[in-house]
Every structure is written in C-alpha cells, then in structure tokens.
Structure 1
Amino acid sequence: MKRLLYPLIASALITIVPFLLTFEKGQDIVRGLFGYEYFALLLLIVFIKNKLARFSLANRKKMPVYTGMTIILISLIVTLVAIAWIDLQNQLAIKGWPTGWYGTLPFATCALAIAMVWKIKPFRFNAICFILFVALMFHLEANNRYAAQPLAQFPTIDYLERIAPKPVQRKRIAEDYKAKYIVTDSVTITRDYVDTARNNVIILVESWGLPLDIKRFERQTNLFNGITTAVGTHNRMYSRTRTAEREDLMQTCTRDSVTLHRDTTFLPKVFADIGFQTTFLFGGDSLEHYRYKYIRNIGFGEVIYGKTTSKGKQLRDTEIIARIDSILADTTQKHFIAWTTADTKFPMPEFPDIYYSNADAIDSAYSSKLHNDFVVIANLARRHPETRFIIQGDHNPILSPVGFQEKFYKRWVPFIVLN
C-alpha cells in the first residue's frame, strides 16, 4: 500500500507547500490536492532507481544500459524540479509577486519527495501506466461532480495556458450593448412578438452574429430606421441552423413525467388552426440537413425550396423576397411565413478554403451580402406596414478564418422586430 501512498503524499507535498506559503486571506484560487505530473515522475524515478540497483558493481562499467538509465534517472529528477519551478511561477504570476526566497521551495520540496519514495518497492512499468490512467479517470470524474475542488493539479498545462496569447473575450455582452439594446437568454423571441391579428414574416438570417463592435451593429440596424419595434440580442445554445429553425418556431414543449415522451407544438400549427396560410421558404436544397423532414413535421401548409432532389436551382435571397412579396399581396387571407436566408452561408463559394482564406476579403463579401439582404427586407417591410416582421440570426459566423470569427460574440445573435 505504501508503494502507492508514499508517491501520492510526496506529490501532494510539492503541490501544496508553495500554495500554503503564498496563501493570502480571501484569495480564490482553485488548486488540486496532488500534482499529477509529480506523481508520474516519482513512480518512474523509483522504477529506474530499482533497475539501476540490480546492476552489480563489476558490470556497471561494461554495460552501456547502466549509463543510459543513469542519464534517464537524472533527467527525471531535473524534470521534477523544473515542473515544480514552473508551478511556483504560475502561482506567483497570479499574485504578481517576485520569486525572491520562494525560489528555494521547488528544490526543498522535490528533495523531500525523492527522499520519501527512495526506499519503497517499485511497480512494474505496465502497472505504472495503469495507475496513472486510473488516477486521471478518477480526477476527471470527481471534477465533473465537484469542480470547485479538483483532485489533481497540472502545472505544465497551467503554464502553457498562462503564456498562450489570450483570445478575444466573446462570451459576455459588453455594457454598451446592455445599455442600448434588449439582451436576453430567452429563445422565445418569435413567440413573444408574433401577432395573431395580422400577417407575420419570420426571417432567419444565415450566419448573422452579433458583432463585437457596436457601431457595426448600429450601421446594420440603421437600415430599418422608422419601422423598428424592438432591437436586441439573445443567446443560442447551439450553432446550428436546423436547431434555430425549430426552436424559433416552438410554441410549447412538454414532457410526460411517466413515459418521458416530449410533445412539441409549433407556431405554424397554431396559426393554421386559426385560419392562417402557413408557408416556409428556403432557396437552397431541401436535402440539406434533411430539412424536408423536420420542416414537414413542424406543420407548414406550403413549402418552397430552390432545389428538391436533383430538380430546380439555388434561389437567391432577392428571388425569395419577390415570392414573399407576391404571397403578401394576397389579401384574401392572413399569412404566417418563415424564411431562412442563404446568401450569407459559409463557406462562401468564392472562398473555398474555409479557414485560411483572407479574413478581410471574407468580411467585405459577407458584409456586402448581409447589407443587400437587409436592404431588400427593409423595403419589403415598408411596402407591407400591416405585416409583422421578426428577423433573427441563426448563429455567429463559423466555417471561416478565426480572424473573422473573432469579430463576433460566441452564441449571441441579433434580433429585430419590424412594424
């Protein structure tokens, strides 16, 4: 038992002593109980030391294996001290403290740890691998259940994370957005703003994400000046168009407590029941994402695609707008229309290399296409002031160069309600 317990205690010694000696009242630093890398290195040090001890004094000078193992043992000890030094620097960097006398801690704790395990009986190499695997799995499972106190510490990973370039913060909405626009986690925008007393057009704009630059968003919304009812942003759980198409059209979702069967009511069914003509339009292929299946299940009375199987052609967004205009011209009945745009879909045909195309060129093409879509949508909304328009993004731009993706918030999409 002590073959396993001593290395574990020794690794905890190297991990915890610097933490305790640099501890400040009120600090909130999550710290593992033992160093996983120390634990592995100590097991290997004992293993190699035992191999060296088996060589007789007479054979040591004749066998190059002995020299090789001696070098490996020294390398393991140096690595142990180096990782302890990195771990100390990680902790001091958080506080902004100089190294000072704390620089002696890695040498002292590593020396004590090696002394603790030096005399214990080693495990076989296969057993060491198995122990390390089980320890890692146990740490991950415990971390899933109680992340506030991890079991293991990984100094090298912490160091790499510390020195890596910091990505742009794209998850938390800036205060200037919150001060000017509606910011919500709700996915019930469509349900909240549809109007059962008049026509409704629900538009899902492909790859329309919320820009980090609020002035860029203001330029987009200015195209709808004079006809906006509400402007804001909401959070998407998934970056998938097919998920957005379904969740934006949900009215209610219930689950049976016994059978766990989920029953979903969609808005097209609700509007059809009160006499609306319901229509879904998409200028692309009906086979994409198996759209023809789930759109049929949502319950639209009429479905229009640019392509069905091998027939037809891709319809541009301007062509779809013309069709919506003709549908709204029919005043003999009320209409509920849902349309997913396609012109701003990634990857764009003119940029086949998804991640290594020029980010500025992609930004220019994307902005131009998005602008064109908004202009024709705004013109349509002005021609039909009696119709409620609800415009939302499906997800932030993906399948594009990282430099371009970093201009948008993750999982946040805008919405605009017109008329």
Structure 2
Amino acid sequence: MLRRKLNILYFVLPALVAAFFAYVACRVYDSPLLHGILSADVLFLMVLLLLPRFNFSYKLAFLAPAAVWAAVDHSACAYATLIFYALMILVASVVPRRCRFLLPVYALFALLFVLADAENFFYSSVLLTLPDAWGLAKFFWWGALLFIVVPPLVVSLELLFARKVLWSARRVELSHRAGFAVVVSVLLLNAGLNFLKPQQPILDFTVYKWFHQFCMPGVSRHNTILNDDIRSAYPVWEKEKSVVDDFSKPTVMILVESYGVKKSLDQTRALLSPFAYSHARFLGLYPRNASHTQGSEWEDFGALRGKIREEPLPLKFKEHHLQTWYVHGYDSEFYARGENYSKFGFDKMLFKEQFEAQGLPSCRNGFVGICDSAMIVYIDSLLSEPTPKFVYWTTLDAHPLYEWSGMFEKSYFCKIFSLSDVDCTYFTLQENTLRMIARLAEKHPEYRFIVRGDHRPMVSIEQSDFVQSFYFRWVPLVILN
C-alpha cells in the first residue's frame, strides 16, 4: 500500500516540477498569465507512456477531451492542439517500453513543454516571442536563467521523479481504462475548482496557450478596467484618436521609461505633479496596445508588432520640412534600433555610443546609459537651433531593476506615502526626469511636448507586489504648449 502511494506521488511530481518555475515567474513578475500549478501536458504524457504499447484504437479515447474542446472553442489554435495531442498519442503508442527508448522521448516532449511555457510567460507579460526573448537574455539575468539554466534543470528534475514509475525495476503500468479515468478525473477537478476560484487553475495547458499566441496576437488575458476614482479624476484619451493634429508644428515626443498609472489615486497624482501647474493642453491617461518599450515606440510611430499600418509619424513631420531626430541613451544594438529606425523616417539617430564620444556622462540605474539629465541638456541645445525639428526621445533613468539604482536625495513623496525602498527609488527617478521635462517645455514654448509612458514597471526582485500596484497597459499622457 505504501509503495502504491509513493508511485502516485512520483506520478504527480513531474507535472508539478514542470509548472513550478513558470508559475513562480508569473507570480513574481505579475504576469497577466493565469498559470496552473500542475502541467497538464506532462501529466498526460506520463499517463500515455504508462499505458500498454500499441492498441492505438483504445488510445483514441484520450483525444475525446481535446476534440470536445476544439468543437466548442472552434478556433485554429484548438484544432492545432488537437493535432498535437494526436501526434503525442501516436508517438507514445509505438515507442518501446524500455528505458533507452522512453528516456529520449520523454525528455524531448518535456523540453518542448518547458520552452513553450517560458515563451507563454514572455508573451503574456511583455508581448515578446521566443526569438525576442533570446535576444533579451543578453541583457536580463532572468532571460538567461529562463533559456539557458531553467529548461535543462526542469527536465532533469522531471526525469529524476518520472524514473520511479516509468523505467524503474518495478515500472508502473496502467490499463487504458485506469489511464482514461485519471485524465477525466483531473480535468473535472480542474474545471470544478476553476469555477470556484478562477484566479488559480490547477492545470496549466502549455501547448494550447502556446498555439493561442498565433490565433490571438496582441491579446493578453488581464483586466485593464480602471477604478471609478481615477476615471473621475483624469480624462482618458480616446484610443483611436491621434495625439498629433498638426505635423507642421515643431514637436518633442518623449517616451518615459516605466511611467505607469498607480492604482492609488494619490500616488498617481504625485507622479503627474511635475506637470500640475504647466497649463497642459491634456493631462490624463492613455491606453497602450503594447506593453514593452519597443512596442510602445512602434505604436507611437504608427506601427504595431513590426507591421507599419500607415505612413510613419516621423515621415509625416519630415514631409512638412521638419528635421526628424531619434535620441536614446542606450546602445543602438538593443532592439536593433540603430539598424531599423531610419526606416520610419528619422534623419538623425543618436545613441549611447555617440553621446559618450561627445563626453555626456553615464548613470548606473537599471541599465548603464546616458543620464536623463545629460540628455535634457543635449535636447535643449537641439531646440535652441533655428531649424524646426521633430525629436523623439526615449528616457532611461527609470528602467528597472530599481534594486540596482543608486539615489542621493529621495523624493519627498517617499516619506508622505511611507514608500518601500523599491517604490521610493521609482518615484525619485521619475520625479527627477519629469521635472526636467516640464522645465524644458517651459523654456521652449515654440515646441509642442507630448509626454507619455511606455508601460508599467515590469520587474522587482525584492517586492513582488510592486508591479501589481500599477494598472496594466495604462500610462499617463501629458501634452504641453
């Protein structure tokens, strides 16, 4: 009896291990993805490999739940999932039940599920696909961790626990009836608890969610509804309305890194306070389609997810005889900006390497790059020239991680709101940059200033609820002069 209970334990552990790291990542980084605590795909793979070999017709019953779901959902991703499960059943049916054959088959599928789960996390959190995430792995330790360390580690742990029931001396074998009963019972349990507590599913359907990316691009499962208090306090910009109504007017468009909307109305007022006395033409909230920096830039330029929907914004200014500039205090290779952004119509593009050559100082915050204060001085010199310009600047100082940022003088909001170290650092960095922008706009009334955020802060290692204190895909928008 004890041995049977231990076999059941080892039967569940691989599915738990497969889901664990992605589950923790979604919790820590406040991903909009609702992640289960057991991997349905690994659990079903275990069942299939514990069934007798061949008898493929009996195994068709295991396709019934996926077939019912495909018929109800009636989407391409549901049918793609059905086909994938059919392939998995076929492979599991013909592979010999000996260790040297089971081991590579199990490891291959397990690795596939882990990588798909990692991509699901990136996509639902920051709308990045796997190739983008590979590129980011060079800049974020958690990117390297997810794609270099975690997948083989997870698969190794899955193999460690699965060996007890798959290819030990007392290998477990299920009848088709028992296997089907396990699958149906788990699905019913998951559905029942989902109905009672939808915020935390038991099973995580990695394959289906991965296919879902291709069926519903740009859709992220997250509540973006604003509370009534902030809706009544600030106007909301109409999503389809352009922020630019005159392309002949000299303009500075500033994308403020991680400039989000706090769920606390008082703290949002504090983040907008640098512009409170500037007689702004618009001071309110803006709904973002994208939720990462480059996506927001492309959205501002008139493109979304790499596809230009209309004539790019910089090109429209260029057609009205304005010089077009893109400036950013980080590397030109990041997001391949230096290679791609001239396609949008920018005459001049300057990045960290050019500014360092000119002697502009660097700051060490989330990224090491040109200080926002130095960039303000440089942009001031550009605006002082007689040639009218369109300048697009993406700030850098407030990029996470805030645990890496050094502060000299804290914002007075830190004491007013009793902010944590992470929140205090965020407020201080944002306030410093925003006050400089407000002063620059006051100094150059001939230029229209359009200031808005790219996304809420994405990451905090020390404070998991920090990201959750911001609304998802809502940013401030300020139009001056």
Go from structure 1 to structure 2 and tell me whether the alpha carbon gap of 1:132 and 1:372 turns closer, same or farther (over 3 Å shift): farther
Q: Among 379, 382, 395, which residue is 1:327 paired with?
A: 382
Paired AA for residue 455 in structure 2: H
Q: CA RMSD in A?
A: 3.8
Q: Among 219, 224, 227, which residue is 1:174 paired with?
A: 227
Go from structure 1 to structure 2 and tell me whether the alpha carbon gap of 1:200 and 1:129 turns closer, same or farther (over 3 Å shift): farther
Match of 2:70 in 1: 141
More helix by share: 2
More strand by share: 1
Separation (CA, whole Å) in 2 of partners of 1:410 and 1:380: 29
Go from structure 1 to structure 2 and tell me whether the alpha carbon gap of 1:267 and 1:129 turns closer, same or farther (over 3 Å shift): farther
Separation (CA, whole Å) in 2 of partners of 1:344 and 1:221: 15
Deviation at 1:311, TM superposition (A): 7.1
Q: Among 239, 251, 254, which residue is 1:200 paired with?
A: 251
Go from structure 1 to structure 2 and tell me whether the alpha carbon gap of 1:316 and 1:136 turns closer, same or farther (over 3 Å shift): farther
Go from structure 1 to structure 2 and tell me whether the alpha carbon gap of 1:173 and 1:311 turns closer, same or farther (over 3 Å shift): same
Unpaired runs of at least 5, structure 2: 9-50, 76-183, 201-221, 363-368, 407-418
Q: Does 1:416 align with 2:478?
A: yes
Separation (CA, whole Å) in 1 of partners of 2:378 and 2:355: 21
Larger radius of gyration: 1
Go from structure 1 to structure 2 and tell me whether the alpha carbon gap of 1:131 and 1:308 turns closer, same or farther (over 3 Å shift): farther
Deviation at 1:219, TM superposition (A): 1.8
Q: Deviations over 1:392-415 (max 9, x none)?
A: 111111122431011101111221
Go from structure 1 to structure 2 and tell me whether the alpha carbon gap of 1:194 and 1:349 turns closer, same or farther (over 3 Å shift): farther
Q: Deviations over 1:18-63 (max 9, x none)?
A: xxxxxxxxxxxxxxxxxxxxxxxxxxxxxxxxxxxxxxxxxxxxxx
Paired AA for residue 280 in structure 2: T
Unpaired runs of at least 5, structure 1: 1-63, 73-122, 147-151, 254-260, 353-358
The 5 A counterparts of 1:108-119 are none
Q: Among 210, 213, 228, which residue is 2:280 paired with?
A: 228
Q: Deviations over 1:147-194 (max 9, x none)?
A: xxxxx994422455545878xx95211122222322246165xx4335
Match of 1:156 in 2: 189
TM-score (norm 2): 0.52
Separation (CA, whole Å) in 1 of partners of 2:422 and 2:472: 18
Separation (CA, whole Å) in 1 of partners of 2:258 and 2:240: 17
Q: Deviations over 1:303-333 (max 9, x none)?
A: 1111369978621111111111111111x22
Go from structure 1 to structure 2 and tell me whether the alpha carbon gap of 1:386 and 1:133 turns closer, same or farther (over 3 Å shift): farther
Separation (CA, whole Å) in 2 of partners of 1:184 and 1:142: 39
Go from structure 1 to structure 2 and tell me whether the alpha carbon gap of 1:68 and 1:383 turns closer, same or farther (over 3 Å shift): closer
* Percent identity (aligned): 26
**Residue 265 of structure 1 aligns to a residue in which SS?**
coil
The 5 A counterparts of 1:10-409 are 130-131=59-60, 133-145=62-74, 154-158=187-191, 160-161=193-194, 162=196, 171-184=224-237, 186=239, 188=241, 191-224=242-275, 225-250=277-302, 264-307=310-353, 314-330=369-385, 332-348=386-402, 350=404, 360-400=420-460, 401-409=463-471
Paired AA for residue 390 in structure 2: F
TM-score (norm 1): 0.59
Check whether the contact 2:355–2:370 (CA below 8 A) recurs between aligned residues: no
Paired AA for residue 144 in structure 1: D
Paired AA for residue 315 in structure 1: I
Go from structure 1 to structure 2 and tell me whether the alpha carbon gap of 1:263 and 1:186 turns closer, same or farther (over 3 Å shift): closer
